[in-house]
Structure 1
Amino acid sequence: MNNELYTPRKHQAEIESNLARFSVLVCHRRFGKTALSINRLIRAAQETKRPDWRGAYIAPLYKQAKTVVWDELKRYCGLGRDDCTVKFHETELRADFENGARIRLFGAENPDSLRGIYLDGVIFDEVAQMPYRVWSEVIRPALSDRKGWGLFIGTPQGKNALYRLWENAKRDPDWFAAMYRASETNIIAADELEAAGREMAPEEYEQEFECSFTAAIRGAYFGNLMGVADKENRVTSVPHDPTLPVHTSWDLGMSDSTSIWFVQSRPGGNYAVIDYYEASGEGLDHYARILDAKGYKYGSHIAPHDIRVRELGTGKSRLEIARGLGIRFDIAPNIPIQDGINAIRSILPACWFDSVKCAPGIESLRHYRRAFNERMNDFTARPVHDWTSHAVDAFRYFAVGFRQPGNAARPLRTINDYDPFGRQHERA
């Protein structure tokens, strides 16, 4: 049925003939990757011999899956045609095929909500906007016993999950990796590309049409500052100093993720960001056990102001529950989010990050960005709420809430060649 509704272009047909069990496609805008991937799922569902075949299409946000993909899935399945036998469930964004196969759409903003499912095939759309752990921790195990396949598609937005998958795929002979730049495919007319090049910032054009992983992330709040941290070798191995207290800063969620940064204040007004932890769907007792397991000597624990809100079920606030678990929180001031973003900007030049233990948090700082209003063709004043938000919010509470013992004002580093580990640091 879908063959009559979908005719692959030259490059799409080339991809379909080369797909491996796991494939990574880095494609320019308007390449047609969504149509390609939807029809890959539909074809697999129609041709399977399994009566319980399950496929998934994962977008960065559930709302995106519903807005961008759901209508396309129904169209390519033949909704409205007399020969369409697929049943669609609007509340679950699920398509049930006559042979028992199912395709369902998901959002990646709450990775743990995907746990416990099994899959025979999965599409990751716009992987650059997702945390890598959605794949490594959640979906990869869901494919194992069924030996399912995965297709990753997207346009670069810096060196994130898509970049990592792309680099891994190029090295692994069992994976298929392909990149399609607008200057090479001839899908978009040359005069249109020239016009886009005049109207877009150079880094935006390179990212969107030429698939550049090194172009700046559009609207990123801290992209340049994190780039400077890379150049100054401040994203590196940062050992824990057992003689100094470890301060924590939290963003507390229930169904959403809870994020915790572990920071030591070092001589000279520097901050050694030594660790990071994130989970979702867990109570405060879980995080108390994590703190104990780390074995650090703790100083301040900083929480957002809404920790004082009492829960309907217990009548207690999380502040009271935490105190019962031995965690005494300081409350970060409730200030406008833009002021908190500026506070992060003020301390980032003083921060050294452990590149391994803090990797998910670092990735969030790099990709936290302003929302773009397509109608107004401009960025809004507020950030996008996505997988980066929890880690950045927790870091923001540290930036506005941490004070040295004695309530002294937070010092800021004024020189760039100081090494908090007692070594002279050469400028990059």
Structure 2
Amino acid sequence: MQQTPLPRPTKKRSVRQVHLYAPRPAQAELHGKLKRFNVLVAHRRFGKTVFCINELIARAAASKAREPRYGYVAPLLTQAKDIAWTYLKRFTAPIPKITVSETELWVELPNGARIRLYGADNPDRLRGLYFDGVVLDEYAQMSPHVWPEIVRPMLADRAGWALFIGTPMGRNHFHALYDRATRDDDWLAARFPASSTRILPEVELAAAQRAMSPEQFAQEFECSFSAGVPGAYYATLLDVAERDGRLSRVPWEPRLPVITAWDLGIGDATAIWFAQLVGSEIRIIDYFEASGVALGHYVKHLDSLPYVYGEHLLPHDVAVRELGTGTTRLETLRQLGVRAKVLKASALEDGIEAVRALLPRCWFDAEKCARGLDALRLYRRGFDAKQNTFSTRPLHDWTSHAADALRYLAAGLPPLPKPWIERPQPVEYDPMKW
């Protein structure tokens, strides 16, 4: 199907002619190269947000569509407001007869085009809308389902365009998207390490290199997807699992029960891991996550799978009574036929160590568990910018649900036989036997 060409601003209408925005050479060149779908990997202080906001303004000003709509999506709505809202107002200020909504964070241009800020922390707010164009800034920090399940359908009927931009955070969904873009003629893939853009002075890069670990510098300034995510709890162990071939195809064994471990969100995502025990091995065969739905949705999903279930491991707070109904989620699940085991409360730090001890025994189905694995790779400690140090507590974001559910799996599984603990043996697993 032939696509409608994307409108490009003419010199007469281009908002870029406003002297408030003077693009750097790399930015100016990039503005002219963009395709319908674009993945741009850029170092810190490249000017990503300024570039994105001015691209949105230029496209919006040139649009001749009916009620055109454009979006800027950041990982958090507060982040979008703190970083992009000031830029959006500043660079649209010279345009006559604009309308600004401080409460809803949008600017409307004289031609009716509206640019609005959103946060990926509440992606369901986007459902039902349409976009003529959208920017996803720092996509590596967003949930992997935001693009394929929510934003991409919003572009379909308007042949809308998309621009992903950010800094790497390991080999996660942002890396997968960049890799796809390098092999697809309809996509633009561009990478801007600090050593090639020359935007930052050499003396400043040298000072940053002395103050940061090699992994941090490689990730933040040289745009390396191979560098470890600073503060990550499980990334190194998952790298080992990948090298060992334990992130592969892990088929379901019908003769064995499937154990599930749940993290139940309240007004948030719920995550479920599906595992089978085979000797000392833990085969994690599936992962499911959803949000904004009732408990019955998860039970229906479990019933739709061919598995024969053993125990369903649930966190201790599942037995807390809800104020609205007076019942517990445990009672609701049992009424729906779920045979649940409620775990005792334990310290978060102990649970993280239990997962670290568990991962060397785990095999993951790389395809079915892809979203959960992305979350585990990025599950990390929070960072205190004022103290310039990592927190002792994890950062609570979209990765927390999968990580918490795996903690419950580690807490609920039976302990290994003592001889295995004293004399661990290498695991040999041939998927072709199953």
- Using the TM superposition, give the Cα deviation of residue 270 of structure 1 relative to its aligned residue in structure 2, in angstroms: 1.5
**Which of 354-363 and 86-95 deviates more?**
86-95
Query: Identity over aligned residues, as a percent?
Result: 50
| 2:59 is the alignment partner of 1:50 | no
CA distance in 2, matches of 1:64, 1:338: 28
Q: Give 1:63's aligned residue.
A: 78
**5+ unaligned residues in a row in structure 2: which ranges?**
1-14
Q: Secondary structure at the match of 2:224?
A: coil
Q: Give 2:148's aligned residue.
A: 136
Aligned residues: 418
For residue 202 of structure 2, the aligned residue among 187, 190, 197 is 190
- Using the TM superposition, give the Cα deviation of residue 99 of structure 1 relative to its aligned residue in structure 2, in angstroms: 2.3
- Using the TM superposition, give the Cα deviation of residue 408 of structure 1 relative to its aligned residue in structure 2, in angstroms: 8.8
Q: Is the 8 A contact 2:96 2:110 kept in 1?
A: no
Equivalent residues in 2 for 1:18-417 (5 A)? 18-78=33-93, 84-267=96-279, 269-403=280-414, 415=424, 417=426
Q: 1:324 to 1:21 in 2, by over 3 A?
A: same
CA distance in 1, matches of 2:410, 2:326: 30
Code of the residue aligned with 1:31 in structure 2: it is: F
Q: Give 2:8's aligned residue.
A: none
Q: Is the 8 A contact 1:272 1:420 kept in 2?
A: no
Q: 1:274 to 1:30 in 2, by over 3 A?
A: same
Q: 1:34 to 1:376 in 2, by over 3 A?
A: same
- Using the TM superposition, give the Cα deviation of residue 414 of structure 1 relative to its aligned residue in structure 2, in angstroms: 5.9
Q: Is the 8 A contact 1:61 1:386 kept in 2?
A: no
- Using the TM superposition, give the Cα deviation of residue 342 of structure 1 relative to its aligned residue in structure 2, in angstroms: 1.1
**Which of 343-352 and 131-140 deviates more?**
131-140
Deviations 1:338-394 (A, max 9, x none): 111111111011110000000000111111011111111110111111111111111
CA distance in 2, matches of 1:75, 1:339: 48
Q: Is the 8 A contact 2:251 2:431 kept in 1?
A: no
CA distance in 1, matches of 2:425, 2:28: 52
Q: Secondary structure at the match of 1:278?
A: strand
Q: 1:190 to 1:259 in 2, by over 3 A?
A: same
TM-score w.r.t. length of structure 1: 0.93
Q: Is the 8 A contact 2:270 2:290 kept in 1?
A: yes
Deviations 1:314-352 (A, max 9, x none): 221111010100012111221221111111111011110
CA distance in 2, matches of 1:384, 1:29: 21
Deviations 1:6-57 (A, max 9, x none): 1111000010010101111111110111100011111122221124111111
Q: Give 2:30's aligned residue.
A: 15
- Using the TM superposition, give the Cα deviation of residue 175 of structure 1 relative to its aligned residue in structure 2, in angstroms: 1.2
Q: 1:212 to 1:422 in 2, by over 3 A?
A: closer
TM-score w.r.t. length of structure 2: 0.92
Q: 1:421 to 1:332 in 2, by over 3 A?
A: farther
Q: Is the 8 A contact 1:349 1:413 kept in 2?
A: no
Q: CA RMSD in A?
A: 2.1
Code of the residue aligned with 1:285 in structure 2: it is: G
Q: Secondary structure at the match of 2:333?
A: helix
Q: Secondary structure at the match of 1:5?
A: coil
Q: Secondary structure at the match of 1:249?
A: strand
Q: 1:413 to 1:182 in 2, by over 3 A?
A: farther
- Using the TM superposition, give the Cα deviation of residue 132 of structure 1 relative to its aligned residue in structure 2, in angstroms: 2.5
Deviations 1:73-126 (A, max 9, x none): 112221xx6x65332323322222232221111111243332221111000101
CA distance in 1, matches of 2:240, 2:158: 44
Q: Secondary structure at the match of 2:180?
A: helix
Deviations 1:138-189 (A, max 9, x none): 1111101100000010111111122111111111112111111111111000
CA distance in 1, matches of 2:58, 2:134: 13
| 2:427 is the alignment partner of 1:418 | yes
Code of the residue aligned with 1:200 in structure 2: it is: M
Q: Is the 8 A contact 2:383 2:391 kept in 1?
A: yes
- Using the TM superposition, give the Cα deviation of residue 202 of structure 1 relative to its aligned residue in structure 2, in angstroms: 0.5
Code of the residue aligned with 2:169 in structure 1: it is: Q
Code of the residue aligned with 1:276 in structure 2: it is: Y
Q: Is the 8 A contact 2:131 2:160 kept in 1?
A: yes
**5+ unaligned residues in a row in structure 1: which ranges?**
none
Deviations 1:202-239 (A, max 9, x none): 01111111111101111101111111111111101001
Deviations 1:394-413 (A, max 9, x none): 11111122337xx999x869
